[in-house]
Amino acid sequence: MTATTTASGTSTGRILVVEDMPALRSLVAETLRDLGPGVVVETAIDGQEALEKIDAEPPFDLVVSDIIMPRLDGEQLLATLRKRSYPAAVIMLTALGQDDTIITCLRHGACDYLVKPVGIDTLSMAAANALQHRPLLTSRMEVDYDPHGWFEVTGESDASVLYRYRRFLGLLDRFRIPEPAAGEIRLALDELGRNAIEWGNRNDRGKTVRFGCRILPGKVIVSIEDEGDGFDLEAVPDPSRDPFAHIEFRKSSGKRLGGYGIHLIRNLMDKLVYNARGNRVVAIKYLDRPREAAATG
């Protein structure tokens, strides 16, 4: 069975829940079965039993695993699956919220990291997103992290790399950014990242994209770089002049809706700087002064 999302929004796919606490294992399994009639959920009491089921049964599309377990823990299970190039997405579900554990799981290919106690809606949404977007743990990716305020992910030109970066950026204690700035940064990062993958690297998974974020006193600096030929910033049309024509053009061209890119980001971030080639952008968000002051600063 291949994981999909139906027209009605329900998910399909095979999920393996790995949890040593019986009550929580049952609760997680039942919650995930509610994603849709096409979802099959199996369970394992620890990493060792999980590997036995993985070896004996048809492939799972998603593995949801605790970390602290007897015999074989969640980190060891994750590392083993990555070494095997097992074609599944993996969500870690644990009481451990330390940055070093989060980064280790990201480096081993986890697509999400949920800290207990976790709400049913949060769990369901994370699983549904994983089944829909299939951010496989085998995706080529390198992680650079400095607890003093630097987080960078370099990987193949695939939306799953951007998905992981955005998700894990919000989990790290050092990168907890207050709202509404956090939401504006996430939106800018998503648009810039998609542009880098779709336009810069032309969805060529053989090319690399790099996402970086630095926290400094009073500001957040986001950088994105692709391996494309770049572009002339001044030659980009402003879609706000005729939004309906812009939407129709993208539909007729077979492109995703959106594409407000640079013009949207200029309104979200306080400063936007491209290199001469046009394949690397640095976006700055000031946290300690109002937009009017930042725009003229």
The separation between the first and the last C-alpha atoms of the chain, rounded to the nearest angstrom, is 55
What pLDDT is recorded for position 255?
A: 58
Crossing angle of helices 22-33 and 120-133, rounded to 10°: 60
What pLDDT is recorded for position 2?
A: 55
Closest CA to 143 of 112, 167, 176, 165: 165
Closest CA to 262 of 170, 200, 171, 169: 200
What pLDDT is recorded for position 40?
A: 96
Q: How far is CA 116 from CA 50, 67, 94, 207, 244, in A?
A: 21, 11, 5, 37, 45
Tell me the C-alpha distance between 195 and 261, whole Å: 7
CATH architecture of 141-296: 2-Layer Sandwich (3.30)
Tell me the C-alpha distance between 29 and 41, whole Å: 6
pLDDT in tens, the chain (297 residues): 455 554 345 567 999 999 999 999 999 999 999 999 999 999 999 999 999 999 999 999 999 999 999 999 999 999 999 999 999 999 999 888 888 899 999 999 999 999 988 999 999 999 998 998 877 777 788 999 988 889 999 999 988 888 888 888 888 777 888 888 888 888 888 888 988 998 899 999 999 999 999 999 999 999 999 999 887 666 666 666 666 665 666 567 665 555 556 777 888 899 989 998 889 999 999 997 655 444 434
What pLDDT is recorded for position 293?
A: 45
Domain extents for the chain?
4-133, 141-296
| 4-133: CATH topology | Rossmann fold (3.40.50)
Tell me the C-alpha distance between 134 and 68, whole Å: 25
> What's the farthest any 2 CA atoms get from each other in the chain?
63
Sign of dihedral through CA atoms 237, 241, 245, 247? positive
What pLDDT is recorded for position 234?
A: 64
26 in helix, strand or coil? helix
Query: Could you tell me if 56 and 27 are in contact, meaning their C-beta atoms sit under 8 angstroms apart?
Result: no
What pLDDT is recorded for position 164?
A: 86
Crossing angle of helices 99-107 and 74-83, rounded to 10°: 20
Q: How many CB atoms lie within 10 A of CB 292?
A: 8
* Residue 251: Cβ-neighbour burial (10 angstroms; 0-12, 13-18, 19+): exposed
Residues 6 or more apart in contact with residue 235 via CB below 8 angstroms: none
Tell me the C-alpha distance between 167 and 133, whole Å: 13
Tell me the C-alpha distance between 189 and 173, whole Å: 19
What pLDDT is recorded for position 238?
A: 63
What pLDDT is recorded for position 222?
A: 94
